[in-house]
Structures are given as C-alpha cells and as structure tokens.
C-alpha cells in the first residue's frame, strides 16, 4: 500500500503510509520558517519551536513532555528556513494521544512569560555554542553571502538582540500571521487504518478555524558572485565555494542531486573525497551540498584544511569542477552513479521517521508524493548530456562565490 491523502475543510491536510510495525511516526509540518520573519522577528520561528512546549490552556510544561514520555514515546521539533515541524515516535496504539497533543500545542499554547525568559537563556547558549563551531557556522555565513539581504539569508537561530525583545504578544502575532491552516500537513507512517487516522484528524483538527495564506513569499533574485575572507581564531582554514541553484520545482533538481552526489556526496568514493582526502591528504572533512528552496536554491563545496594547503585545495576543487563541465560521464560511470543514489534513497526510506517527514514535505510543496519507484525512474532517465549541461551552468567559474575562514 502506498500513500493516502485527506484534506479537512479548514485546509489542513493528511498524508499517511500504512506500515505494520509496532512503532509509529507522526508529525505536523507547517510551511513557515526563518524566511517568513520580518527583520525585527529574526529568530522568532526557532524561538516558537522551543516555547510551544512550555504550556497550553490545559497543560503545564511538565505534563506536555510527559504526555508521550509516559508511554515510551519521543516528542521533538525542528525549524528550517521554510518550515517548522513537531513530530513524535510512539507505540502505534497511541495515535489518539499524539494527535491530541499536537493540536493542543499548535492551537492552545499560552506562552507563559516566565517560561519565555528561561528559554531565551537556552537559545543564547545555543547561539554561543554554534559560534564556537566554525565548520558549522560557515554554512550559515555562506548563505548570508549568497542571498545577501534577502530574508532567506538569515540564520535560523536569530540574534541575542532580537531574542530579548520577544514576548507573548509578539509570539502570538507571528503565529497568527504565519501559521496558516492550508499550509499545514499532518504526516504519518505507522500501523493504523487510514479510516481511523482520518477520524482522529477530524476529532482533533477539524474544530480549528480556517486561516488561509493569501500571499506568496518574497522571491529571491539578483544574485551577484562575491569572494570574502573572514579572520577567525582557528587552527584550520575553512572554505566554501558555491552558487545559487535550482528550486524545488525545477525539472533539473533531481539531475543536480545526482551530480552533487558524484561530486561530494556521502559516499567515500565521491570525487572530492578521493582527491582532496585520499590522494593528497589535504582535508579530513570535505563535502558538497545542494539545498533547494521553493523559489531558489544553493549549492556549495566545503572543505577544512591546513592554512598552507588552502590554495592547493582550491585548485583541486576547480579541477574537479572543470572535469564535470568538460568530460561526459561514460555509460558505466553513469550507471554506477545512478545505482549509488538509488541505493542511498532506498536505505534512507527504511528510516521511518525520515520517511514521515519527507512525505509530509513533499505533500506540502508538490501536493503529491512520488513513490520510490517513480523517483528511481526519474533518476534512470538522466543522461550524461544533461549532467554536463547542468555542470556548465551551475559551476560557471564567473558565477561562483567563495567564503574563507582563515
């Protein structure tokens, strides 16, 4: 059985996949993230992810965290630049308990001022910890460099200055303006009949008044390549080279995923790992990444190396990019690359928590969910000609930006 869908009259949607396992995975994804904040709200989406657990009209913070913990469940949340998600894993006979809790958190949270102040200190520690990790911080700084002053450039954690100003009223205002019911998807992977989960969805979510998003997001445009060096008190030099890339709905998105996997994906046989690490020993950590958003995207190559090897490493990276742009993959190379990506996706689909989130995101963005077989067909259809064409567009030397910590 594949995916099943349902939509309530208020716009809240459901995607469910039946799997006969004892553990169920369920969550609610809201199409709201950091890029939806006004400048003075920077950090608000992430702040709400923290404080939404601090009290509702019927529960105190302890009762919220105990609701699923008491039956061996695991409640969690995350924020990205375009979405916020509350999700849980639990024994499959506790769906009613989980969905009731999600509804309570999203629509009945009270945001006690005392709890807000405590959580601000927690987030300040999170910000400080992040600043102590240059290998992570450089990714945020690179997006700020690429997207410049656009809202999507802002990091997720926000600033200490903004954090101090947040209060109950500003939190509620942000939720009212951004938590739209037609931009919410309840996603589920577990052992429950579709008719039963639809009944539970109606029971806990149909009473919610419709709040429909009417305006789209402010789109990004006007990218200009730039090189920037920042002095950091680090032993290693950290560097990212990259460009803007295809958005989520672009037909070249999946071919770029494959190209990125060849270049610096998780496999030990990626070109960057074989050259920068295995052949020359210049870098312990190296990878390439591709993050598509609804209207734009970003692709980059990261490596950390000794300061004396920075220019040599950059030269190797550029050589690898030139190979992708000038040397068409042979039939065997292309076959192996496709087989590797298909295998990685198959393994990832066995992680039901990730599967639950992925099908929720897909339904939210595309209003559908492709099966693994359908995705594999799209991968198999990729040609060497398409890959070399994409490589020349995305890795055009004149369009690349470089950020270096030294």
Cα separation, 360 vs 80, in Å, equals 14
- pLDDT tens for residues 324-365? 999 999 999 999 999 999 999 999 999 999 999 999 999 999
- Note whether 388 and 325 are within 8 A (CB): yes
Q: Which helix (H) or strand (E) holds 201?
A: helix 194-205
Q: How many Cα atoms sit within 13 Å of 340 on the Cβ side?
A: 20
Distance of CA 349 to the CA centre of its chain: 16
Q: Quote the pTM value.
A: 0.94
- Calpha distance 76→72 (Å, rounded): 13
Compute and round to an integer the Cα radius of gyration of the chain: 22
Average pLDDT over residues 42-49: 98
Give the pLDDT confidence score for residue 234 in this predicted structure. Answer: 87
Q: Which has the closest alpha carbon to 197: 26, 382, 378?
A: 26
Cα distance between residue 364 and residue 324, in whole Å? 33
pLDDT tens track for 225-269: 999 999 998 889 999 999 999 999 999 999 999 999 999 999 999
pLDDT of residue 233: 84
- Average pLDDT in the chain: 97
Sheet strands (E) in 20-133: 23-30, 74-79, 84-91
Strand order in the sheet with 227-230: 227-230, 401-405, 237-244, 297-305, 283-292
How far apart, in whole angstroms, are the C-alpha atoms of residue 107 and residue 200?
A: 16
Summarised one tens digit per residue, pLDDT across range 290-308 is 999 999 999 999 999 999 9
Span 165-193, average pLDDT: 98
The pLDDT of residue 110 is 98
Residue 1: pLDDT band (50, 70, 90) is: low
Whole-number Å distance between alpha carbons of 95 and 191: 10
Average pLDDT for 49-69: 97
Q: What are the residues facing 3 on neighbouring strands?
A: 17
Let me know: does 148 contact 220? Beta carbons within 8 Å. no
Domains of the chain plus CATH, in order, are 3-205 (3.30.830.10), 227-405 (3.30.830.10)
């Amino acid at each position: 059985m594949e995916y099943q869908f349902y939509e309530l009259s208020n716009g809240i949607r459901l995607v469910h996949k039946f799997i006969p396992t004892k553990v169920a995975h369920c969550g609610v994804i809201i199409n709201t993230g950091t890029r939806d904040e006004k400048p003075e709200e920077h950090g608000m989406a992430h702040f709400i992810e923290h404080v939404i657990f601090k009290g509702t009209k019927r529960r105190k913070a302890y009762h919220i965290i105990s609701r699923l913990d008491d039956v061996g469940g695991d409640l969690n949340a995350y924020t990205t630049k375009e979405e916020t998600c509350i999700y849980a894993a639990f024994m499959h006979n506790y769906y009613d308990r989980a969905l009731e809790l999600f509804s309570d958190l999203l629509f009945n949270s009270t945001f006690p001022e005392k709890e807000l102040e405590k959580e601000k200190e927690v987030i300040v520690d999170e910000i400080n910890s992040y600043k102590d990790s240059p290998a992570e911080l450089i990714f945020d700084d690179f997006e700020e460099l690429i997207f410049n002053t656009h809202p999507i450039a802002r990091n997720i954690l926000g600033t200490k200055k903004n954090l101090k100003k947040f209060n109950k009223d500003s939190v509620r205002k942000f939720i009212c303006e951004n938590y739209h019911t037609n931009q919410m998807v309840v996603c589920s992977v577990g052992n429950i009949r579709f008719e039963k989960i639809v009944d539970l969805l109606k029971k806990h979510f149909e009473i919610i008044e419709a709040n429909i998003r009417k305006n789209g997001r402010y789109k990004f445009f006007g990218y200009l390549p730039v090189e920037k060096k920042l002095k950091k008190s680090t032993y290693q030099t950290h560097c990212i080279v990259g460009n803007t890339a295809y958005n989520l709905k672009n037909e070249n998105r999946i071919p770029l995923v494959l190209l990125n996997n060849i270049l610096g994906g998780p496999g030990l046989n990626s070109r960057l790992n074989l050259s920068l690490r295995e052949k020359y020993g210049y870098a312990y950590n190296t990878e390439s990444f591709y993050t598509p958003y609804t209207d734009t995207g970003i692709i980059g190559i990261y490596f950390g190396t000794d300061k004396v090897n920075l220019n040599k490493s950059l030269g190797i990276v550029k050589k690898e990019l030139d190979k992708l742009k000038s040397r068409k993959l042979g039939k065997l190379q292309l076959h192996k690359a496709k087989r590797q990506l298909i295998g990685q996706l198959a393994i990832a689909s066995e992680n039901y928590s990730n599967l639950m989130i992925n099908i929720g995101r897909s339904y939210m963005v595309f209003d559908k969910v492709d099966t693994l077989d359908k995705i594999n067909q799209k991968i198999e259809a990729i040609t060497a000609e398409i890959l070399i064409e994409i490589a020349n567009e995305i890795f055009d030397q004149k369009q690349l930006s470089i950020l270096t910590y030294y």
